Amino acid sequence: MPDRITLHGIAARGRHGWFAYEQEQGQPFVVDVDLGIDTRPAAASDELSDTVDYGTLAEAVVGIVEGEPVKLVETLAQRIADVCLDDTRVHDVEVTVHKPEAPTTVPVSDVTVTIRRART
């Protein structure tokens, strides 16, 4: 069972959504990323190069959220998971995308989509 590196609350403004006004005006998104990774090499060497640089990963996630608009949060979550799995040290990833200002017909405090992907 791999170790875990988790980033909570990566915040960025994106233009994702089904409705045209969502893509025009944008809105806040918050992302949580949970990586499965063997941290033993980094623990032994005490070198950043032997683990996932979570600062760089957070910047990449922000770049995706602020980047090309998509209609579905599911698509956005998949793009983030793909970037996480680009690092061959990552065994699996869980991505949760929060859309706190999602347009709904009744009040909700948050809408989230969570996906889990593993290296095949």
- The residues that are catalytic are 99
- Is 71 within 8 Å of 113 (Cβ atoms)? no
Q: What 3-state DSSP class applies to 90? A: strand
- Is 82 within 8 Å of 73 (Cβ atoms)? no
Q: How many CA atoms lie within 13 A of 89 on its CB side?
A: 17
Provide the pairing of β-strand 27-37 with 3-14: antiparallel
